[in-house]
Structure 1
Amino acid sequence: MGYSGGLDSAVLLHLLARAELPVTAVHVNHGISPQADNWQAHCETFAKAMGVPFIGHKVQVCREDGGLEQAARSARYRVFEKVMAPGDQILLAHHGDDQTETLLLRLMRGAGIEGLAAMDECRALSEGRSVLRPLLRVSREELELYARAQGLAWIEDESNADLAFDRNYIRSQVVPALTARWPVVNRVSRAVENLRESAGLLQDIALDDLRGCAHCEARFGESIDLQGFRALSVPRQKNLLRMWIRQLGGRMPESAQLQEGLEQVRAAADAQPAVTLGDLVLRRYRDRLYLTPQLQPLSDSVAGETVWRWDGMCNLELTDGWTLQPDKGWPAGEYTVHFRRGGERARPSSRSHSQTLKKLLQEYALEPWLRGLVPLIYTGDELVAVGDLFVTAKGPSQPPIWRFLD
C-alpha cells in the first residue's frame, strides 16, 4: 500500500495489519519538505511496529511536469509501477473528503462528466494490476476518531497550510463552508456514483461508434474509417476520440487540442494533418483516421549513414522501437539494412520494370509518416526487400516482418 505517514494512510495500514492481510508499506520520499527524511524514518518505524515490510524510495520531482502537485503524483505512480509485480494491487488511503476536494477542483477546471466522476474505488492498471481505494466512503473526521482511539501517530505536512495550492484552498476555505450547511461527503459520494453511471453510458456509446467505424490495428498505432467518423455528430466524435485515446493508454488532451483535431479532420482531402492529442498524434491518410504514438524525427546522420548488419535469423532492432524479424520464408544470409537516402529505384518481383521507390511507397499505400523509417534490405549491393511491403526479383519469396514494438 502507499504509505505517506499522514492520518489516512496510518489508519489504513493499521487496519490492514490488524486484519493480518499480506501487505507491504511503500513510502515515496519526494524530498520537497525539509522534514522529508524524518518522515521516511517515522514511516519505517511505524511499519515495523505493525509487523509490515517497508519499502522507501527517494525521487526527484520535476516541477515542469504539470506543476508541483501533478509532478509529485507522477513520481509516486512511477514508484508504484516499479515495485508492483503482475497481479499486485496498490491500496491508497484517499477518503471521502479527498473525493470532495477532487470533484470541486475538477469542476473549477471545467472538467466533463468523466473528470467529475473523480476517483475510482478500483482502477485497473496493466498486467492484471490495480489501484484500490477502500476508504473513499469514509470522512476524515471518522478516520481521526479511529486514529485517536487507537493511539496512532501520524505526520502533519506543513505544506497543507499553503493556500497557494488550489487543493489546500478548497480544503480550508470552501469545504468547511459547504459542510456547515450540507452533509458534503455523502452528497458528493452520491453525485460521483451518478456521474460514473453517465460516464459508463458514454463509454458504451463510444465503443459502439468505434466498432462502427471499422476500428483496427495499423502498422503504427490504430486507425478507423474516416467517412464513418465524419458521419457522427461532433459530441460523439469527441466522445469516440476520448475513448480511443484511453484504450491506447494515452493522456487526455486539452479541449483546445481536441477541437483542433476535429478541424483538421475536416481539412482538404489532400491534406496530411498531424495533431498532438495528449501524448498521441491524430493523423489522416486517404480514407482512414489514425491515432499513433509520437514519432521521433530521424537525424540526417541516422537516416543517411546508419547501416545495420543482419543475419536474417535473429530479430534486428532498428531505432525507436522498430524491428525486423525473419518470417517463415525468409532465409538466413548476410544482409545490410539502412533507411532511404534518396533516388532509390526498385523492381518488385511481380513487375517487369523498376520504378522510383518514392512512387512505389505511394502505390503500396505506406503511410507518409513512415516512409522515412522503412528499412531497405540488401544482399551486397542488391536491394532484395523493402520493409514488409515487397521483395524484388532477386529477393526471397516473401518479405520479412517489420513492426513497431512499443
Structure 2
Amino acid sequence: MVASEFDIMHDDASLFRELLVYEHWYIGFSGGLDSTALLFACAEFLSHQTDTAIPSLTAIHINHQIDSASDKWQAHCEAFCAKLGIAFITQKITVEAANKGLEAGAREGRYKAFEELISSADSHSSVLLLGHHGDDQAETLLLRLMRGSGLRGAAGIPRSRSLGDSGIDLLRPLLTQPKSKLQQYVIEHDLEYLDDPSNQNLRFDRNYMRHKILPSLISRWPKAVEVLTRFVEHLRAELELLDDLAAIDLSSAARSEHPYGESISLILCGQLTVRRRSNLLRYWLLKNGLQMPSTALMSQINGLITTSSVDGHIEIAHCKLCIYRNRLYLIKSHQLTQLAQCLEAKYDWSLTKPLAAVELSRLTAFYSSSRSNLLIEGDYWVSNRAHSSKVRYKGINRSLKNIFQEHGVPIWLRDSYPIVYSTDRIAAIPGILVADDFVSPDGYLLSWSW
C-alpha cells in the first residue's frame, strides 16, 4: 500500500506515544469517520510496539436507540472490530432529552455510560480516547462566539479532562488535526465508516456551521481550521494564567478547614476589582463542580456580595449561595435537606461504632486522654436540637442559639446540626463542647463536618 501523505501512525506517532503510560485504552467508537480513524490508528500503532507491556485496546459503542438504524450501526461497529481483532463493548441507553434537547441528552447519557462501563471493567490506569478533530474545535469556537460566550466558553473542547467523578482520564489526541486529513487517512487505508444522515440536517446549528459556514471560510482561507484551533490553544494558555491568579486569591479567601461548608471571605472579595472578583468566583464555582455561570448570574452574585444581605440567597442548580458573617457560603441544598430529614429520627450511638445513617458518616469519635472537651464513655443517641434548647456548660445553663452564634454556625445549618443526647439531656455538641456532667479526662473527642 502506498503511504498516505498524512499517516497518523508514522507522522504523528507522538500523539499516541504519550499514552503508553496507560495500561488500558478505551476508544469511544460510533463507527463514524473520526472514531474509525482513531481506532484503526491506535490498533496500528500498538501493533508496531515491541515493549512487553503493551496497553490493551477496547472499543466502546453506545447505542442511543434514537434512530431506526441504531442497531445496524451497532452491528457494523462490532463487525469492524471483529475483523481487526479488537475487543468490543456495547451498551444501549435511553436518552433523556427533556429540558436539555436531544443532542445534549444523548451526549450526557453517552458519557455516563462510558464512565460506568470503564469503571466496572477496570478503571485502574485506563484512558478514554475520543476522535474529536480540528474541525470540531473550529465549529465549537464559532458556535460559542455566536452565542456570546466568554473566554472559557470560547476555549472550546478541552484536549483532556476527567471522566465524571471516576478519576479516569479522557483525552482527544486528534483535536489539532483537520478533518480533511482524517478523510485522507481512511481512504488510503480503505476503511469503511458510517455517515449519520442527521448530520446533513441544516436545522441544527452545528450542521449549518459544518456545511455552510466553515467550508466558506476554508475556501477563502485554506488554513482556517489550523488558525482557529491555534487560537483556542493560545486562549487556553491565557485561561491557565487566569486560573493561577484565581487560585492565589482563593488561597487567601477560603478556609483551610470548612466544617460548615465551602465559603470565601467577602472582606477579601471587596478588596478585589470587579473583574478579578468575578474571575475568583467563576473559578471557585467550577472547582466545586458547578457549570460556568452566565454573565447575568455573575451580575446577581456580585449584587448579593455588594449588599451583604443575610436574608438574600441565589439558587444555582442544586446549590445555594448565602451570606453569613462576611463569608459567602456554597450550600448543597439536597445534602442539607437529606441531613435535616435524617436527624428527625433518633440514632443510638455507643461511640465505638459508626452511626447507621449514611448522612452522619462524618460524625466521628476518637478515644483520647489528657485532653479537654472529651466525652465520657457511654450509650447515647443522636438527633437535632428539637429535643432540648439548653445545655449546662462551665457551670452555666446555655442556650443552643447562643452557642451556635458564638461558634459561627450558619443559621441554615442549625436545625441540621447533630446533637448527642443522654436520656433527655444534651451530652455534647460535636466539634464545639461537652456538657459538664459528661466531660472526662479520658474519653472521646467528637468531630463533625458538613
Query: 1:252, 1:277 within 8 Å by CA — same for their partners in 2?
Result: no
Residue type at the aligned position of 1:155: L
State percent identity of aligned pairs.
36
1:259 to 2:299 alignment = yes
Write out per-residue CA displacement over residues 218-259 of structure 1, whole angstroms, 9 at most, x where no aligned residue: 114322221111111111111001111222232222222221
Aligned twin of 2:31: 5
User: Secondary structure at 2:437's aligned position in 1?
Assistant: coil
> Where does 1:334-349 land on structure 2 (aligned, <5 Å)?
334-341=379-386, 344-348=389-393
Name which of structure 1's ranges 333-342 and 151-160 shifts more when overlaid on structure 2: 333-342
Residue 287 of structure 1 deviates from its aligned partner by 2.3
Residue type at the aligned position of 1:100: A
Write out per-residue CA displacement over residues 89-144 of structure 1, whole angstroms, 9 at most, x where no aligned residue: 11000011101111011111211112111122222455653211111122222212
Aligned twin of 2:5: none
Aligned twin of 1:14: 40
Change (3 A) 1:332 1:93: farther
Alignment partner for residue 363 of structure 1, among 393, 401, 406? 406
1:312 to 2:351 alignment = yes
**CA distance in 2 between partners of 1:371 and 1:297 (Å):** 11
Name which of structure 1's ranges 53-62 and 124-133 shifts more when overlaid on structure 2: 124-133
Aligned twin of 2:261: 221
1:81 to 2:101 alignment = no
Residue type at the aligned position of 2:383: H
**CA distance in 2 between partners of 1:317 and 1:288 (Å):** 33
Residue type at the aligned position of 1:44: E
Aligned twin of 1:209: 249
**CA distance in 2 between partners of 1:321 and 1:394 (Å):** 25
1:43 to 2:77 alignment = yes
Q: Unmatched 5+ residue regions in structure 2?
A: 1-26, 47-54, 369-374
Considering fraction of residues, name the structure with more helix: 2
Query: 2:264, 2:328 within 8 Å by CA — same for their partners in 1?
Result: yes
Alignment partner for residue 288 of structure 1, among 327, 330, 334? 327
Aligned length: 401
Query: 2:431, 2:448 within 8 Å by CA — same for their partners in 1?
Result: yes
**CA distance in 1 between partners of 2:336 and 2:449 (Å):** 17
Write out per-residue CA displacement over residues 21-80 of structure 1, whole angstroms, 9 at most, x where no aligned residue: 522111111111121122112212212222211111222221125222222111122122
Change (3 A) 1:347 1:364: farther
Q: Unmatched 5+ residue regions in structure 1?
A: none
> Where does 1:146-225 land on structure 2 (aligned, <5 Å)?
146-182=185-221, 183-225=223-265
> Where does 1:113-132 land on structure 2 (aligned, <5 Å)?
113-125=151-163, 128-132=167-171
Change (3 A) 1:268 1:143: closer
Residue 11 of structure 1 deviates from its aligned partner by 0.8
Aligned twin of 1:377: 420
TM-score by length of 1: 0.91
The Cα RMSD (Å) is 2.4
**CA distance in 1 between partners of 2:283 and 2:313 (Å):** 19
Alignment partner for residue 34 of structure 1, among 39, 62, 68? 68
**CA distance in 1 between partners of 2:29 and 2:402 (Å):** 59
**CA distance in 2 between partners of 1:164 and 1:318 (Å):** 51
Residue 322 of structure 1 deviates from its aligned partner by 5.3
Query: 2:354, 2:364 within 8 Å by CA — same for their partners in 1?
Result: yes
Change (3 A) 1:247 1:47: same
1:400 to 2:438 alignment = no
Alignment partner for residue 140 of structure 1, among 179, 186, 190? 179
Change (3 A) 1:194 1:71: same
Residue type at the aligned position of 2:142: L
TM-score by length of 2: 0.82
Change (3 A) 1:322 1:251: farther
**CA distance in 2 between partners of 1:189 and 1:159 (Å):** 25
Query: 1:24, 1:52 within 8 Å by CA — same for their partners in 2?
Result: yes
Residue 374 of structure 1 deviates from its aligned partner by 0.7
Q: Choose between structure 1 and 2 for higher RCO, CA contacts under 8 A separated by at least 6 residues.
A: 2
1:275 to 2:320 alignment = no
Residue type at the aligned position of 2:95: V
1:353 to 2:396 alignment = yes
Aligned twin of 1:237: 277
**CA distance in 2 between partners of 1:39 and 1:132 (Å):** 24
Name which of structure 1's ranges 57-66 and 28-37 shifts more when overlaid on structure 2: 57-66
**CA distance in 1 between partners of 2:333 and 2:341 (Å):** 18
User: Secondary structure at 1:253's aligned position in 2?
Assistant: coil
**CA distance in 2 between partners of 1:265 and 1:327 (Å):** 39
Change (3 A) 1:299 1:146: closer
Query: 1:318, 1:324 within 8 Å by CA — same for their partners in 2?
Result: no
User: Secondary structure at 2:232's aligned position in 1?
Assistant: helix
**CA distance in 2 between partners of 1:246 and 1:318 (Å):** 30
Aligned twin of 2:9: none
Query: 2:140, 2:156 within 8 Å by CA — same for their partners in 1?
Result: yes
User: Secondary structure at 2:314's aligned position in 1?
Assistant: strand
Query: 1:257, 1:276 within 8 Å by CA — same for their partners in 2?
Result: no
**CA distance in 2 between partners of 1:136 and 1:149 (Å):** 21
**CA distance in 1 between partners of 2:81 and 2:149 (Å):** 38
